[in-house]
A = this chain, B = another copy of it.
């Protein structure tokens, strides 16, 4: 097992000092052409690469971005990560990903771990438990210590940092308006409890869309579910119970899974999608594309979101020391993707 090549090793081998080697490799004019060539040739031959850890220690910079997200199995997060990855690479940053599993303690632990020198800044989507607890000390502490933080998706307004959000309200509005345009008037929504920001905003968009068409909001057509992640069966049951015998012609859901559950139940009940009931879902993922019928969705562009988040963070990391703090909140637009779960728009 060969030891990794270091400046010291090269220096000893070529009988010069460490400084000379370092300077030669960085093309310093201080070093004579001769020596420089010799050293560079040697380094190349033995494939010398500077040790990142040593550089990080010296520069007090790691060029590493820490990502903290609740779950990686969600297709949406996966696309966001890809966006972050891209932008990071373009600017020569590394990326460390850690998972909170929606657990408050794990989120705090992960942050502390990464904050101890491993990363220069964070991109984070909060754990559900953190939102419920309403405890954000780990975030404010990191920020106080000069670690830039960018929040995305699951954010909280009070924290002073850059934020990237889907325009959930506008997106939901667009989706529901699409249902309205195709002629639906009795539109139900399957959403989450209000403490999940995105659920709240999407519900708001739903209401606004209805109002813009002069349709009265009917509380009986709103279903709020808890605990999206661990409940598949429970949620499905509640959805069935909710839909049973309801007189509706459209459903808007805040995620794919709810849409799929609803569609399956309707089919079981002998109703046709989209002819009897049309469906639009938030979050464009794999399911929507391959379900029968394919689902009309409000697409979130996670990749763009990731890119934007990374861009904001890198900006902060590379801004001059003395620049005044200033926080941006960026909104990523959504797009309506028409598929087979809705009818054509009526002229």
Contact = CB atoms under 8 A, between A and B. Distances in A.
B49 A57 contact: no
Contacts of A82: 72-73, 99
Nearest to A264: B292
A171 to B, nearest CB: 21
Number of copies: 2
Contact of A292 (B97, B118, B267): B267
A260 interface: yes
Interface string A2-30: 11100000000000000000000000000
A168 to B, nearest CB: 23
A113 interface: yes
Q: Please indicate which of the listed interface residues A51, A85, A116 has the most CB atoms of chain B within 10 Å of its own CB.
A: A116
A112 interface: yes
A75 interface: yes
A97 B50 CA distance: 21
B2 A146 contact: yes
B73 A75 contact: yes
A94 B54 CA distance: 18
Contacts of A49: 112, 115-116
Contact of A73 (B2, B51, B78, B292): B78
Interface string A72-109: 11010011011001000000001111110000000000
25 contacts: A1-B146, A47-B141, A49-B112, A49-B115, A51-B57, A51-B116, A52-B116, A52-B117, A53-B53, A53-B56, A53-B62, A53-B117, A54-B57, A72-B72, A73-B78, A75-B286, A78-B78, A85-B98, A94-B96, A94-B98, A94-B113, A95-B98, A267-B292, A286-B286, A291-B292
Interface of A: 1-4, 47, 49-54, 56-57, 62, 72-73, 75, 78-79, 81-82, 85, 94-99, 112-113, 115-118, 141, 144-146, 257, 260, 264, 267, 286-287, 290-292
